[in-house]
Structures are given as C-alpha cells and as structure tokens.
Structure 1
Amino acid sequence: MTAQPGTRAGSPPPWTRAGADEVAYDGFARILHRPLLLPDGREALWDIHDSPATVSVLALTHDDRVVLVEQFRPGPDRVVLSLPGGLVDDGEEPVAAGVRELREETGYAVTSAELVATVDPPSHTRPRHVVLARGAHLAGAQHLDELEDITVVVLPVADVRRRLPTGRLGATEQTYLALDHAGLL
C-alpha cells in the first residue's frame, strides 16, 4: 500500500469531507458540524470549534521572571493563572497580536518577541500561536476589554515550571513550548 502525500507509510488514511460545514451554534463560541467520509465508507458528523486564531505570550523580564495573568475562566469555573494572550485579528501577524495582547492585559512592553510555535488543535479550524518575548518591563496601565478582569502576576521561571505538571495552569501546552524554546525547562 502506498502512503498518500503528507502521510507516512502505515499512517491511517485521511478522512474526506462529505459536504459543507453547517453552523451548529453561533454565540461566544462558534461550533460547526462537519460531515466526513471515513476510509471504510462510514459517514460521521464531527463537531468543530470555529474560532479565530489565538496567541499566548511567554514574556520574560530582564531577571528571567514570567509575566502572567490571573482571571476567572468559565470553563473550569475558577480563577486561572495563565500566559497573557488572546485573539489574532484578521490580517494581524501573530507576534504583533501577542505584543498587543500583552500590553493590553498587563501593561508590559517588551524589547523583542518571536513566534516559537504554531499548534493546530485537532478539533479547531484555526491555530494557536506561541510567542516568546524578552525584556518585559512595565510600560503603562492595563487596557482591558469589557469582559476582562485581570490581575498581573510576575513569577520566577522556577515557580512556573513547578506549576506546569499540576495541569492547573492555563495555556499549559503553550507554556511548555515557549519554555522549551527558551531553554528554560
């Protein structure tokens, strides 16, 4: 058997679309129903989260502390400590979006920033970007959106690393990717 383009020998064959996506729900989140044809001929209707691309920022201060945000999250129904971040606007580059979100949510600016990873979640239509920023320094006040209530927390890298394996830190995957890229794991 020959592998299809983009797959390894022995990889399962891809599923194919069996029709147009239909909007199942359109509120704060948008959910699509995607009809798919499985390789064995069965049809499946898959729920897909259709949201804009997002960005998370691991912002390091000059003394290697991490700028974090603490805010209530309705999904887990608790206050969560996480990386700053948010939506990437149409036409906006992920790094620019990350620097903007960091400044809005925390009041911190940075001297440099780079895109270190782009993750394609399995049931989402758009990626999650990870930005590593250095030289973070307080440059002004927060400029929060209407539904944001954020406390800024700055912790040593060692404290962030200790929290990661607990699974209680928001943006865990993005935090691991950024710390690994920075050589701080």
Structure 2
Amino acid sequence: MKPWKLLDTEYLVDAPWLKVAKEKCELPNGKVIDDFYTLWQPDWVLILARTSKGEWIMTEQYRHGTGKIALEFPAGIIDKGETPEQAALRELQEESGYGIEKQCVTLSEASKMRSRTGLDSSTPLRSAQNDTISYLGSFPVNPDRHRGRFHVVFIDNVVKNGCTHFDSTEEIESLLLSDEALQAKMADGSFNHPLQMAGYLKWKLSLK
C-alpha cells in the first residue's frame, strides 16, 4: 500500500490558529482527487492531573462548537519552544490553580533533563524523584484530514498552589472528581470529549 501523492495545495484559510487547505492528490491507482480538504490547528496538550487523594482535576467551560457547557480535563495549546510537559504545567496552573510541589520536576528542570539525556518531545520524561510527570505520547486529532496532533501528559500528586489566569475569552471553573465518578460521567454521557476519553484510556493502559 502506498501513500497518495500531493500535487497542489491551495489555502482557503491561513490563520495562526486554523488552516484549511484544498489539496490536489494522486492516488496509487492513478486517479486524481482535485478537492481533498484538510485542516490544521496548533498542537495541544491534554493534562491528566491527579491529587494525592486520587481525584482528577477537571474543568467546565462553554464550547461554542456544541453550544454547551463541557466537562473536560485541562488542556491547551503548546506555545512555540515549549515541551508538552512545560505546556501541561503552565496550562494546569492557568486553568485550575493547581501545580506540583517544589521538590518535584519544575519547568526548567524538565528542560534541563531533556538536554542532558538527549530526549525529544516524543520521549516520556519522568521525575528523577517520584515519577510526578509522565509523557504518554502524541496522537493525531483526526487521521482522515486533520494535520494537528495532541499530546497526553499525566501529572500526579498536584496541589492547589496559586491563582488561575484566564485569557480574555475564557471563563473556566474547576472541580475534583474521583476516578469512579469520572467513569460514571463517561458512562452517562456527561463527559463526552472523545479525544480526552482516548487520552484517559491511554493512561489506563499504561498502568498494565
């Protein structure tokens, strides 16, 4: 099986947060598709943050795509130059006011650990002391026609350690859920973000 050959690209939308392209592609059998549409958005990180009591840090905010208030794990765009772990710690603090204790891996320590060991952002990074931060991998948002990816980071034993900091377009409330309560909300449909559920499943599988 061979991949398609890209013959031409025309950007219909070319904005910092979204690109929509009309692509001309040649299939292995010679057939040409003149208008295959693809999407791109910046990579983002999904943050599975848990307290020492085993409670998940969750958020609620309005999502205009569905027109409803959504229950979610914290998440956010990875800024240029950030590792997924750094983005996870920053976004977790900004959205919920939770973070890691001083003896755990800090942002600068995470960067230094990667530099010393030669790890890149696709390699799991763990605390030298207590496995506080675990990188669980990156995954395509939609393999069919979406070029963006999301990364999954697990942070254990987080504590409330500061104030939130929202963008001017954000209004976010945070709450705590036990693992059993979270699974119950998955079952009844009140937690229904498919990519976030996939990230949670990846974490579950990592325990085996």
Alignment TM class, shorter chain as reference: 0.7 to 0.9
Aligned CA RMSD, in angstroms, stands at: 1.8
* Deviation string, structure 1 residues 36-70 (Cα, Å, up to 9, x no partner): 11112122222222111110000010011000110
Does 2:20 match 1:31? yes
State how far apart, in whole Å, the 1-side matches of 2:20 and 2:175 are: 33
State how far apart, in whole Å, the 2-side matches of 1:130 and 1:103 are: 16
Amino acid in structure 1 at the alignment position of 2:73:
L
Residues 18 and 35 in structure 1, CA contact (< 8 A), matched pair in contact too: yes
Residues 31 and 49 in structure 1, CA contact (< 8 A), matched pair in contact too: yes
Amino acid in structure 1 at the alignment position of 2:197:
T
The CA deviation at 1:166 is: 4.6
Unpaired runs of 5+ residues, structure 2, are: 105-131
Find the counterpart in structure 1 of residue 148 from structure 2: 126
Does 2:202 match 1:177? yes
Unpaired runs of 5+ residues, structure 1, are: 1-11
Worse-superposed segment, 47-56 or 118-127: 118-127
1:58 alignment partner, one of 48, 57, 65: 48
Amino acid in structure 2 at the alignment position of 1:164:
M
Q: Give the direction of change, closer, same or farther, for the CA distance of 1:32–1:81 in structure 2 (3 Å limit).
A: same
Residues 132 and 182 in structure 1, CA contact (< 8 A), matched pair in contact too: no
1:48 alignment partner, one of 28, 38, 57: 38
TM-score (norm 2): 0.76
Find the counterpart in structure 2 of residue 161 from structure 1: 183
Secondary structure, aligned partner of 1:141: coil
TM-score (norm 1): 0.84
Amino acid in structure 2 at the alignment position of 1:156:
S
State how far apart, in whole Å, the 2-side matches of 1:24 and 1:165 are: 39
Find the counterpart in structure 2 of residue 100 from structure 1: 90
Q: How many residues align?
A: 171
Q: Give the direction of change, closer, same or farther, for the CA distance of 1:165–1:40 in structure 2 (3 Å limit).
A: farther
State how far apart, in whole Å, the 2-side matches of 1:126 and 1:169 are: 20
1:145 alignment partner, one of 153, 160, 167: 167
Does 2:77 match 1:87? yes
1:114 alignment partner, one of 96, 115, 134: 134
Secondary structure, aligned partner of 1:177: helix
